[in-house]
Amino acid sequence: MPRTPAVVEITQETGDAFRHTLRQVDKVGFFTLNYREAIATISGIQHLRRNIPQRMTYAKSIILDVESRDDLEGLLNRSTGPAPNLEHLALEYANADAVVCTPERFLADSASCLAQLKLVNCIIPWTSSLFRNLTSLEVAFPLFGGPHPVPTLPVLINVLHQHESLQTLHLSNVLPAFQEADQQWMRAGGKIALRHLDNLELKGKAGDVVDLYTCLDIPSTLKRLHLSVSYASAADCDAHVPGVLELVSKSAYTRLSAGAITVDSASLSMWDDEEAVMSLGEGADAAQTHGTRVTVYHDDMAAQPPLRMFSLFLTNVSWALPRILRLALADHPTRHVLNIDVLARLLRPFPRLRALSLCLCTLPAFSAFFMQTAAHTRGCPLPCLKELTLLDYACEGMYCDIPRENYSERLRVMADFWRSLGQDVRFEARHARVVNMSGRRLPRFT
């Protein structure tokens, strides 16, 4: 005889399978719901609307990812009973055109065991007692559209003060715009203490990110910091983004000194959707370990961030973290800004660099880089360099115009030239088959 599960799992079942699952729920007394609507299925969501709200007292975990606003609101509006056993709640409205609001009496404003709350394009009233004693809080609003129900600073402070054990905080496009009273409170030394915070992500306008980060009393044991900032103009970028870059490098230094993280590698990547991603981490996978990262982008994705921001980031890093030994740079896939002069300027703060990885994105850019290098008799001044890796991510992709049979010969010429500089460097130039720029596959050392 099959053993009865301790918790019944509800996923995408419909018809007889769903009715059987409900009988199991009523028998066992606990369930988890994981409903991710890849394609809108009317019968599936209607089954949930009719049968889940009255069983909320049995819920341990609820994950809802729904395409239809009407369907999601219909289910939430019916869910007004308490959920005393609910530990994990994730609500996502999959169409990022608006924010879906739960009713004031959602879950009877009572879920005493709730520890993890994730809201994507959804929001519970900011005054709800569901924002209490959480260990993980993630809220994300759409980048465009609005206005969205962003909290004022006093409201956000009240929410965060209720989480003495908060370990994860992600706020995306939910940051308050500071008013004069907020600035006065901050200048008077006002702080939001988050003593157990382990993982922090903030996304929004650069000035708002700086203001909120400055208000947070963040422990030196923080392991993961991601700041994603937008700017509206070149003047806005110059006014606010340098402050973000300084925060990131200072935070990395503080956490490194406390032994919370290890940092010996930096990564800078320019993407074709006009984002610049700058990372600090450990070892060959600095960009993948995500210890510290800042993303900079124009607020309507209309322009690549100025090159001087990349140089400023690396300069700040070199001051705060002089032991950076590895560096990975990925060029813009169509604009090819990493010529030899730019590269020399970016590398100048790192005379002790031992490993350099360059993603030049296309073989034409790859070849042009070496032609430029050949014109500089001393090449790049990196006396301690021991490893140079050049990656071409798109040799067979849409940007390539050089026949494949010439590729090996080009690499051989490049290798011979680099060795002719007289440096004892392990050189590798290769075509990377992974052409996955949209998936944020950052360059890595080998």
The tokens for 356 are: 């350099």
- Give the residue ranges of the chain where pLDDT is below 50: 1, 286-287, 377-378, 394-403, 432-446
Q: How far is CA 1 from CA 4, 27, 66, 259, in A?
A: 9, 16, 36, 53
Domains of the chain, by residue range, sit at: 1-147
DSSP label of 6: S
The tokens for 104 are: 């004031």
Q: Which pLDDT score is estimated for 202? A: 95
The tokens for 113 are: 């065991």
Q: Which pLDDT score is estimated for 182? A: 79
DSSP three-state, residue 36: strand
User: What torsion, rounded to 10 degrees, do the Cα atoms 279, 283, 284, 285 define?
Assistant: -50
DSSP states along 403-436: -GGGHHHHHHHHHHHHHHTT---EEEEEE-S---
- What pTM, to 2 d.p., does this model score? 0.84
DSSP three-state, residue 346: helix
How far apart are alpha carbons 327 and 385 in whole angstroms? 11
User: What torsion, rounded to 10 degrees, do the Cα atoms 366, 369, 373, 375 define?
Assistant: 120
Strands 265-270 and 275-281: antiparallel
How far apart are alpha carbons 378 and 375 in whole angstroms? 9
Cβ count near 188 (within 10 Å): 7
Q: How far is CA 50 from CA 39, 44, 224, in A?
A: 20, 10, 41
Half-sphere exposure at residue 385, Cβ-oriented, CA atoms within 13 angstroms? 23
The tokens for 424 are: 């004892």
Q: Which pLDDT score is estimated for 117? A: 96
How far apart are alpha carbons 119 and 179 in whole angstroms? 26
Per-residue pLDDT tens for 199-224?
999 999 999 999 899 889 888 888 89
Q: Which pLDDT score is estimated for 429? A: 55
Per-residue pLDDT tens for 64-85?
998 888 888 999 999 999 999 9
DSSP states along 178-216: PPHHHHHHHHTT--EE-TT--EEEEEEEHHHHHHHHHHE
Cβ count near 78 (within 10 Å): 17
Closest among 275, 261, 263, 368 to 322, alpha carbons compared: 263
Q: Where are the beta strands (DSSP E) in 256-370?
A: 265-270, 275-281, 292-298, 326-330, 355-359
How far apart are alpha carbons 139 and 149 in whole angstroms? 11
Q: Which pLDDT score is estimated for 86? A: 95
Closest among 376, 372, 397, 384 to 424, alpha carbons compared: 384
Q: Which pLDDT score is estimated for 170? A: 96
